[in-house]
Amino acid sequence: MWLRPTRYRSSNGNALQIEVPSVHFRDWIQSNCMDKIRDAVNQTHGTPLNVEFIVGSEIVGALSAEETATAETLPGVDHFSTPFNAKYTFENFIVGESNRFAHAAAMSVADPESRAYNPLFIYGGSGVGKTHLMHAIGLRLKEKAPHLKVLYATSEQFFNSFINTVYRAMQSSKVDPTSFRSLYRGVDLLMIDDIQFFIGKEGTQTEFFHTFNALYDAGKKIVISSDRPPMELTTLEERLKSRFMWGLNVDIQAPDLETRIAILTRKARAANIAISPEVIFFVAERVQSNVRNLEGALNRLQAHAALDNRSISMELAQGALVDLVVTPSGPKIQVDDINQEVCNYFSIRLHELIGPGRQKKYAMARHVAMYLCRKMTDLSLPDLAARFGGRNHTTVLHACKKIERDLQKDTNLQNIVNFIERAVRGANS
Ligand code: ADP
Ligand code: MG
């Protein structure tokens, strides 16, 4: 991976020059392979030569280690074009207090005559309608001005496509990174979704920076979405962040109660789901976080009703959504709450639960705690591993699997787990 992209550049009596794709390659090779390289040069050449590295400036800016690693594993994908989701239109977008401003700005960008708000930077939590609005812009602009070139890419697609062309260009002179560049720089509107994914990917940021400048200078439109405002994209290059501030930054909040009711009503009607205003209110009051979860709740009600061949009553809703709904003021369940209840149950101390002790009593309690944390919080395995004394995340996975398996046959364990789970929920409400 590190050596294959290197090239012989030139040599004279004292020095051998090797071309490398980036400073990361140079640094890695210098700290890991210099002895072997010197030996090989010595053997081949007969006398020692200085080995110098030239960073192949004509190829690309520096790639981060993560980018280089990805380049190795990425299949040869070609340039893509994401078709817009025909349902993500402005007509289907329900406007409320939480998204009014973002919606208005998006409408303006979608107007071929308008030059306002460039770039438009939309940010907000997951499932609040960022992607929907971007698709709506694309669909509207294509409809009003079919000759315009509109490109929507997730930042992952941009990243993959960039790495692919650039990496292939490093390996073979036949691949030309300009194809990638002309694709992205030749559009009238470029939309990049979830830009927070660029964090830590320096080469991609540099490339995007140049893409941005080329488009901006040519008076083309740019729309970007992110899960947080530009200033909070901590390790994103300053020059990129400052460009994001040039245009308009708008946020989308979680929908308020009226909007949630409106969304549920509209979506139920569109899907031909018979549901009373009381049940809509019940769902809207309990599912607060985002629109995606509202849709999920509605789908679930419909599925339950279809399975049992019943209509959607309040009783059915209460049953079907029992684990999905969050009590309106109920705080999120924390790892600490779970661990505390586990410690109470097993009469051990927190440091014994988290610590390295392998006695059966600790190990059992630890497995139960890991299982419940996995079940009751939305932390990832690596996050959980970190909360359990920096263990490996596969340890957490094994613990969860083990408890899941044992729960199938061990009624005593079932009682323990249920008891602790109830205690956690009780302490939380
Ligand atoms: P994000 O990109 O912010 O994570 P999405 O745009 O993917 O969220 O939205 C999640 C789901 O919720 C989609 O199915 C989308 O159509 C729907 N949705 C979000 N906001 C609205 C809205 N204001 N009106 C109607 N549907 C919405
Ligand atoms: Mg999205």
Nearest CA to ligand 1 atom 1: 127
Residue 72's pLDDT is what? 62
- At 366-377, the pLDDT tens digits run 999 999 999 998
Q: Which amino acid is at 320?
A: A
Residue 78's pLDDT is what? 43
Say if ligand 1 is within 6 A of residue 299 CB.
Answer: no
C-alpha distances (whole Å) from 372 to each of 98, 275, 341, 403, 423 are 34, 34, 11, 10, 12
Residues 195-214, mean pLDDT to the nearest whole number: 89
Residue 171 has pLDDT above 70, yes or no: no
DSSP state of 222: E
CA dist., res. 120 & res. 138, Å (int): 13
- For residues 51 and 57, which has the higher predicted lDDT (pLDDT)? 51
Nearest CA to ligand 1 atom 19: 129
Residue 139 has pLDDT above 90, yes or no: yes
CA 273 to centroid of ligand 1, rounded, Å: 19
Residue 328's pLDDT is what? 47
CA dist., res. 73 & res. 266, Å (int): 44
Question: If pLDDT is split at 50, 70 and 90, which confidence band does 164 have?
Answer: confident
Nearest CA to ligand 1 atom 20: 129
The continuous run of DSSP H or E covering 10 comes out as strand 7-11
From the list 351, 393, 359, the residue with the least C-alpha distance to 373 is: 393
What is the secondary structure of 67-101 as a DSSP string?
Answer: HHHHHHH--------PPPPTT--STTPPP-TTTHH
**Assigned token pair, 357:** 């002790």
Residue 196: nearest ligand to its CA? 2
Q: Facing residues of 55 across strands?
A: 20
Q: Which amino acid is at 92?
A: N
Say if ligand 1 is within 6 A of residue 134 CB.
Answer: no
Ligand 1 atom having least distance to the Cα of 134: 6
- For residues 347 and 163, which has the higher predicted lDDT (pLDDT)? 347
Residues 5-27, mean pLDDT to the nearest whole number: 79
Positions of E strands within 160-209: 189-193
**Could you give the 3-state DSSP secondary structure of residue 152?**
strand
Residue 63's pLDDT is what? 67
From the list 159, 174, 205, 160, the residue with the least C-alpha distance to 62 is: 205
C-alpha distances (whole Å) from 89 to each of 96, 221, 405 are 16, 19, 45
Residue 76 has pLDDT above 60, yes or no: no
CA dist., res. 276 & res. 175, Å (int): 60
Residue 59 has pLDDT above 50, yes or no: no
| CB count in 10 Å sphere of residue 404 | 12
Residue 46's pLDDT is what? 83
Residue 262 has pLDDT above 60, yes or no: yes
Residue 130: nearest ligand to its CA? 1
Say if ligand 1 is within 6 A of residue 292 CB.
Answer: yes
Residues 203-224, mean pLDDT to the nearest whole number: 92
Ligand 1 atom having least distance to the Cα of 92: 25
Least confident of 178-182, 339-343, 413-417: 178-182
**Assigned token pair, 63:** 């790639």
Measured between its terminal Cα atoms, the distance across the chain in Å is 53
- For residues 245 and 7, which has the higher predicted lDDT (pLDDT)? 245
Residue 397's pLDDT is what? 92
- At 302-318, the pLDDT tens digits run 988 988 888 999 999 98
Q: State the virtual CA torsion across 191, 195, 198, 200 in degrees, nearest 10.
A: 160
- For residues 428 and 388, which has the higher predicted lDDT (pLDDT)? 388
CATH of domain 69-252: 3.40.50.300
CA dist., res. 342 & res. 360, Å (int): 15
Question: If pLDDT is split at 50, 70 and 90, which confidence band does 79 have?
Answer: very low
Fold: same for 7-59 and 69-252: no
Residues belonging to the chain: 429
Residue 122: nearest ligand to its CA? 1
- Please report, for the chain, the start and end positions of each structural domain, with discontinuous segments joined by +: 7-59, 69-252, 257-320, 335-427
Residues 121-141, mean pLDDT to the nearest whole number: 95
Least confident of 52-66, 184-198, 332-346: 52-66
Check if CATH label 1.10.8.60 holds for domain 257-320.
yes
Residue 417's pLDDT is what? 92
Ligand 1 atom having least distance to the Cα of 135: 6
The continuous run of DSSP H or E covering 162 comes out as helix 155-171
Residue 239 has pLDDT above 90, yes or no: no
Q: Which of 82, 103, 132, 225 to mutate to test the pocket of ligand 1 (most atoms within 8 A of CB)?
A: 132
Residue 175's pLDDT is what? 61
Say if ligand 1 is within 6 A of residue 132 CB.
Answer: yes
Check if CATH label 3.90.870.10 holds for domain 7-59.
no
Question: If pLDDT is split at 50, 70 and 90, which confidence band does 62 have?
Answer: low
Residue 247 has pLDDT above 60, yes or no: yes
CA dist., res. 137 & res. 89, Å (int): 8
From the list 101, 152, 112, 100, the residue with the least C-alpha distance to 131 is: 152
Ligand 1 atom having least distance to the Cα of 88: 16
CA 372 to centroid of ligand 2, rounded, Å: 29
Residues 64-71, mean pLDDT to the nearest whole number: 70
Q: In the CATH scheme, what is the homologous superfamily, with its name and number, of domain 335-427?
A: DnaA protein, C-terminal DNA-binding domain (1.10.1750.10)
**Assigned token pair, 218:** 């040519």
Say if ligand 1 is within 6 A of residue 130 CB.
Answer: yes
Nearby residues of 104 by Cβ (< 8 Å), 6 or more positions away? none
**Model-level pTM?**
0.64
Question: If pLDDT is split at 50, 70 and 90, which confidence band does 253 have?
Answer: very high
